C-alpha cells in the first residue's frame, strides 16, 4: 500500500478517536469543545512512557487512555452539573488552559546523549518507539484500526446496553430521565470518563504515528472539528463521527481538488447539509430505518420525548 494512502488512513483512524470522544458526550446531550485536551494528555503521557521511561508501547497507550479518563473525571466532577452552554465554555476554558500548561511544561531526560521529552512550546520530539521496534507504517495503521475496531465494538455493545439507553435518555431529556430513576450525574460522569479515555488512547496513537507533538496542535480548532464530525456524519451511530472524519480528512484533504478553496467549499457544504439534516447524515431516524430493514423485527415504540423533541412539521 502506498505510503501516502497509509498516511491518510492512519490519520483518519487517529482523529476518529477524538471525534468519537466528542460524540459520546453529545449522546448524553453535552457539548464539549475540549476533548482535544484529553487527546493531548494521552499523547504526552504515552510519549513519556515509551520515549522517556522506555517502557513497552501498550503500556504507553494504556497510560494515555488512563490519564485521559482520569483527567476527564477530574474536570467532569465540578463541571457536569453545569448547564449546556456553560459546560461547553468550561470545557473550552479547560482545554485552552491545558494547552497553555503544555507550553510551559518541561520534562526532559537524557537518552543516548540527547535530551528527550516535552519542551514547552517546542513540543515533544522523537517519540520513535515504533521505528525503533521495526513496526512498519502499514503495521501501525493496522494497529490503529484494530484498536478503533475494538472501540467501535465497545460502542456497539454500549448502544445495546442499559447504560447506552441511559445515555440517550439523558441526551433527549435530562429531567425526564431523572424522573425515570436514572442517576443522571453519575451516568454523565461515566460518559465523560469513557470519552476522556477514548481521546487519550487516540492521543497516544497520534503521538507515535507522527513521532512529534506540540501544544499548538491541540487547539480550539481541533476541538470544534471533533464536535463537528459527529454532527456532520450523524448522531445516530458511532459510524457517524467516523463518516465526518472521512469526509473532511479523506475526501478533501487528500484529494487536491479544491486546493486553496477547500475550507470555503467544505464550510459551505456543511452549512447547507445542516439545514437539510440538522442531526447529520446518519441521524437517528435513518439509522433506525436501516436497523429495521436489517433485522426485520418490528421496532420498539418511540418514546414521547424522542418524538416531541422533533420540530412540528
Partner 1 sequence: MEAMLEIVDVVTTYGKIEALKGVSLSANRGRITCLLGPNGAGKTTLMMTVAGVLKPRQGSIKLEGNELVGLSPARIVGNGVALVPENRLVFPQMSVRENLLAGAYQRKSSGEVAADIEQMYTRFPPLKERREQLAGTLSGGEQQMLAVARALMSRPRVLLMDEPSLGLAPIVVKEIFGIIAELNREGVTIFLVEQNAHLALQVAHHFYLMEQGRVTFSGTPGELAEDEVIKRAYLGTRRSAG
Partner 2 sequence: MIPFIQTTLDGLMVGSSYGLLALGFALIFGVMRRLNLSYGPSIMVGAYLGTLLYIQFGAPTYVVAIVAVAGSVMAGVYVERLCFAPLGVGAGVASMVSSFAIWMQLEQASLLMLPRHSYPFPSLTSGELLSVGPLVVRPDYLIMLAAMLAITAALHLLLYRTRFGLGLRAIIENSVAASLSGIDVRSTMLKAFALASAIGGVAGFLVLSANQQVTAMLGMWATLKGLIAMMIGGLGSIPGAIVGGLVLGVIEVHSQTLFGPQVRDLAAYGVLFVLLVLRPGGIFGTAAVSESAAHRGGDRWTTT
**Chain residues that interact with partner 1, rule: CB under 8 A:** 302, 307-308, 310-313
Work out how close the CB of 82 gets to partner 1 at its nearest, in angstroms, rounded to a whole number: 23
Q: What gap in Å lies between CA 230 and CA 238, rounded to an integer? A: 8
Question: Which listed residue (278, 289, 290, 292) binds partner 2 by CB under 8 A?
Answer: 278
Do 195 and 72 touch, CB atoms closer than 8 A? yes
Rounded alpha-carbon distances, angstroms, from residue 66 to 38, 132, 199: 10, 24, 10
Work out how close the CB of 309 gets to partner 1 at its nearest, in angstroms, rounded to a whole number: 8
Grid cell at residue 146:
484494530
Q: What gap in Å lies between CA 309 and CA 313, rounded to an integer? A: 12
According to DSSP, residue 117 is labeled S
Q: Is 264 in the site for partner 2 (CB under 8 A)?
A: yes
- Total number of residues binding partner 2 (CB under 8 A)? 49
**Max CA distance (Å), the chain:** 69
Question: Which listed residue (194, 228, 245, 249) binds partner 2 by CB under 8 A?
Answer: 228
| Cβ proximity to partner 1, 52 vs 235, nearer residue | 235
307 binds, among partner 2, partner 1, none (CB under 5 to 8 A by kind): partner 1
Rounded alpha-carbon distances, angstroms, from residue 55 to 19, 60, 133, 138, 294: 28, 7, 12, 23, 45
Do 76 and 188 touch, CB atoms closer than 8 A? yes
Q: Which of 57, 22, 58, 56 is nearest to 39 (CA)?
A: 22
313 binds, among partner 1, partner 2, none (CB under 5 to 8 A by kind): partner 1
Of 52-111, which residues contact partner 2 (CB under 8 A)?
Answer: 78-79, 82-86, 88-90, 92-94, 96-97, 100-101, 103-104
Q: Is 220 in the site for partner 2 (CB under 8 A)?
A: yes
Do 195 and 244 touch, CB atoms closer than 8 A? no
What does the binding site for partner 2 look like in residue numbers (CB under 8 A)?
A: 26, 31, 78-79, 82-86, 88-90, 92-94, 96-97, 100-101, 103-104, 174-175, 220-221, 224, 227-228, 231-232, 260-264, 266-272, 274-275, 278-279, 309-311
Amino acid at each position: 500500500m502506498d505510503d501516502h494512502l497509509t498516511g491518510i488512513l492512519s490519520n483518519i483512524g487517529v482523529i476518529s478517536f477524538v471525534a468519537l470522544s466528542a460524540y459520546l458526550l453529545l449522546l448524553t446531550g453535552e457539548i464539549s469543545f475540549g476533548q482535544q485536551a484529553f487527546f493531548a494528555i494521552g499523547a504526552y503521557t504515552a510519549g513519556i512512557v515509551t520515549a522517556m521511561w522506555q517502557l513497552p508501547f501498550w503500556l504507553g497507550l494504556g497510560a494515555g487512555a488512563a490519564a485521559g479518563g482520569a483527567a476527564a473525571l477530574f474536570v467532569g466532577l465540578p463541571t457536569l452539573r453545569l448547564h449546556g452552554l456553560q459546560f461547553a465554555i468550561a470545557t473550552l476554558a479547560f482545554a485552552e488552559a491545558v494547552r497553555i500548561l503544555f507550553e510551559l511544561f518541561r520534562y526532559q531526560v537524557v537518552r543516548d546523549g540527547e535530551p528527550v521529552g516535552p519542551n514547552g512550546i517546542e513540543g515533544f520530539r522523537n517519540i520513535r518507539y515504533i521505528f525503533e521496534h521495526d513496526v512498519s507504517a502499514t503495521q501501525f495503521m493496522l494497529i490503529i484500526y484494530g484498536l478503533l475496531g475494538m472501540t467501535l465494538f465497545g460502542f456497539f455493545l454500549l448502544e445495546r446496553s442499559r447504560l447506552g439507553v441511559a445515555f440517550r435518555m439523558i441526551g433527549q431529556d435530562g429531567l425526564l430521565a431523572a424522573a425515570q430513576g436514572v442517576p443522571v450525574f453519575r451516568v454523565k460522569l461515566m460518559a465523560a470518563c469513557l470519552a476522556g479515555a477514548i481521546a487519550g488512547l487516540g492521543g497516544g496513537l497520534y503521538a507515535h504515528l507522527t513521532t512529534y507533538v506540540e501544544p499548538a496542535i491541540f487547539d480550539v480548532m481541533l476541538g470544534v472539528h471533533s464536535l463537528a464530525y459527529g454532527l456532520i456524519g450523524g448522531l445516530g451511530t458511532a459510524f457517524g463521527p467516523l463518516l465526518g472524519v472521512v469526509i473532511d480528512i479523506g475526501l478533501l484533504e487528500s484529494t487536491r481538488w479544491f486546493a486553496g478553496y477547500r475550507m470555503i467549499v467544505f464550510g459551505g457544504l456543511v452549512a447547507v447539509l445542516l439545514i437539510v439534516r440538522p442531526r447529520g447524515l446518519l441521524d437517528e431516524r435513518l439509522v433506525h430505518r436501516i436497523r429495521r430493514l436489517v433485522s426485520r423485527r418490528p421496532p420498539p415504540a418511540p418514546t414521547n420525548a424522542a418524538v416531541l423533541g422533533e420540530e412540528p412539521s
